[in-house]
């Protein structure tokens, strides 16, 4: 292993790479053209951790000198045409690749690993699998976006603090950002929940580039478990793919990519039909949920756990302990007779699956700014929620960047095509929640939507609860 490394770029890729290399004894300097004060408060906190642990911060440096380092890590955001890339080649420096970072993590997390990726459902599937494996007697190390929004930083933080020690198995959520720097982990099982055009703004609008990133999981997995919907897009590349499907998930794909694990909802119950080794099993599983996406996630969790070798009894026992994931149609309580839910959905398919079970109710949607660390398609979000909402209150404040963008809220509301929807714009989520209580009647439902429920889970939830409580007091006699 090289003894010194310059990490160029103190963004979402550079920080975890610098911290991981520092942890294994490499002399690390992290460099960025931004000054310390140009980073958000949350990013400053991470830079402070790097500094405290011994990483040298070289911020505000417009021209990095690489001559004193054996190796260089170049953030993916640095253009291929950037002069620094040519300089790295000219000086024959070791380039720290995804393979190098993955191998370091493989050596540290030396137990079996299950990795979960996809467009949505990753966090819930990860949590369900954790409950199932614990019920089967395993000591589980789990990491998902519920720890930190950036899972790569969460994994490295757990490594530094030794959270993985003593575990029999690691169950890891692998978003596309994490795959970008750890996409060659040695996975016992890889799980692909689905592939939808949900994050294309981060890939220049290209579905192919997005799929190519997710494709990292295909060669990384000894066994690949995937939604039948992914067949034509990606998993056709492996004839040994083990498919699952939940009813209404692109049923035409199931003829070509026949699911071994087939879930469906009937008679107010979740059913799973398993066709394996010439034997067919059909059973029901009790799961208390209001969001249909939990049934798809459960089907993925069943397929992964039983592919590993667990039994359907282990599944039932584990799911009996599953109470839902924070920020995924999380029930916040009843306020003046109005039920309130907290959800992180923002794209077409995820919003539809979140709201489908309550579509016939009077819905007041609090749409917390759809932008987070990346620019999202506000028009797409507006069009889809217009199919469900009776009232939409959009906010402009972005918690993760501590910025206000009321233009984004107006753009989202303007895209709602249903003229019957009442549309309002306010600054913050607590203002939106309080205002919702002014108009809500007993029996109505208030639902938070937007990535803030994931990126800034506690902060947004606390503000929403504050607004609901204040609104209940102020408008209690309406």
Domains of the chain, CATH where assigned: 4-96 (3.40.50.720), 100-319 (3.40.1190.10), 330-474 (3.90.190.20)
166: left (phi over 0), alpha (psi -120 to 50) or beta: left
pLDDT band with cut points at 50, 70 and 90 for residue 456: confident
**Structure tokens that stand for 216 in this block:** 């990292």
Mean pLDDT of 185-201: 88
- Tens of pLDDT, residue by residue over 134-191, are 999 999 999 998 887 789 999 999 999 999 999 999 999 999 999 999 999 999 999 9
**Residue closest to 406 by CA, chosen among 419, 418, 397, 416:** 397
pLDDT bucket at 477, cuts 50 / 70 / 90: low
pLDDT at 378 over 70: no
Q: Residue 287, Cα to own-chain centre: how many angstroms? A: 22
The pLDDT of residue 37 is 93
pLDDT confidence of residue 82: 85
> Tell me: the pLDDT tens digits for 457-469?
889 999 999 999 9
Angle at 339 between CA 446 and CA 386, to 5 degrees: 25
Give how far Cα 145 sits from Cα of 125, 154, 175, 336, 455, Å.
12, 8, 9, 32, 8
**Cα–Cα dist 275/195, whole Å:** 24
Alpha carbon distance 172, 360 (integer Å): 36
Which range of 197-201, 277-281, 374-378 scores highest in mean pLDDT? It is 277-281
- What whole-number percentage of the chain has pLDDT above 70? 95
Q: What angle do CA 115, 210, 381 make, to 5 degrees?
A: 100
pTM of the shown model: 0.88
In this prediction, residue 408 carries a pLDDT of 83
Identify the H or E element spanning 140. strand 140-143
| Distance (Å, whole) CA 233 – CA 395 | 35
Task: Answer with the residue of higher pLDDT: 398 or 319.
Answer: 319
The mean predicted confidence, pLDDT, of the chain is: 90
């Amino acid at each position: 292993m090289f003894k010194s490394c310059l990490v160029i770029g103190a963004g979402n890729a550079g920080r975890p790479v610098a911290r991981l290399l520092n942890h294994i004894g490499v002399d690390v300097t992290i460099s960025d053209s931004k000054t310390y004060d140009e980073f958000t408060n949350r990013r400053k906190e991470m830079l402070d951790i790097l500094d405290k642990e011994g990483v040298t911060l070289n911020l505000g440096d417009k021209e990095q000198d690489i001559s004193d380092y054996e190796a260089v890590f170049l953030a993916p955001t640095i253009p291929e045409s950037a002069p620094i890339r040519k300089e790295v080649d000219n000086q024959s420096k070791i380039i720290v690749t995804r393979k190098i970072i993955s191998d370091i993590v493989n050596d540290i997390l030396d137990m079996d690993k299950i990795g979960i990726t996809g467009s949505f459902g990753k966090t819930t599937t990860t949590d369900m699998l954790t409950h199932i494996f614990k019920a089967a007697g395993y000591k589980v190390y789990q990491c998902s976006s519920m720890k930190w929004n950036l899972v790569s930083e969460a994994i490295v933080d757990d490594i530094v603090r030794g959270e993985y020690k003593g575990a029999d198995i690691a169950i890891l959520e692998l978003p596309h950002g994490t795959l970008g720097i750890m996409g060659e982990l040695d996975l016992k099982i890889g799980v692909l929940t689905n592939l939808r055009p949900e994050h294309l703004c981060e890939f220049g609008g290209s579905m192919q580039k997005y799929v190519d990133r997710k494709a990292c999981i295909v060669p990384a997995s000894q066994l690949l478990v995937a939604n039948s919907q992914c067949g034509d897009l990606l998993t056709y590349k492996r004839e040994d793919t083990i498919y699952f499907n939940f009813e209404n998930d692109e049923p035409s794909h199931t003829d070509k990519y026949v699911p071994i694990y087939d879930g469906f909802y009937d008679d107010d119950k979740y059913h799973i039909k398993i066709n394996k080794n010439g034997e067919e099993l059909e059973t029901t599983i009790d799961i208390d949920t209001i969001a249909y996406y939990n049934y798809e996630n459960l089907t993925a969790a069943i397929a992964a756990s039983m592919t590993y070798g667990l039994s359907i009894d282990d599944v039932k026992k584990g799911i009996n302990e599953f109470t839902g994931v924070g920020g995924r149609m999380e029930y916040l309580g009843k306020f003046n007779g109005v039920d309130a839910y907290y959800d992180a959905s923002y794209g077409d398919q995820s919003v539809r699956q979140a709201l489908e079970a309550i579509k016939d109710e009077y819905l007041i949607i609090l749409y917390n700014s759809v932008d987070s660390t990346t620019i999202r398609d506000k028009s797409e979000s507006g069009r889809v929620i217009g199919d469900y909402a009776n009232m939409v209150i959009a906010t402009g404040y972005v918690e993760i960047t501590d910025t206000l963008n009321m233009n984004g809220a107006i753009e989202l509301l303007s895209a709602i095509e249903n003229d019957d929807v009442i549309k309002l714009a306010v600054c913050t989520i607590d203002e939106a929640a309080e205002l919702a209580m002014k108009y809500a009647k007993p029996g109505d439902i208030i639902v938070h939507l937007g990535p803030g429920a994931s990126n800034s889970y506690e902060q947004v939830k606390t503000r929403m609860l504050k607004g609901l409580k204040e609104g209940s007091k102020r408008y209690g006699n309406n």
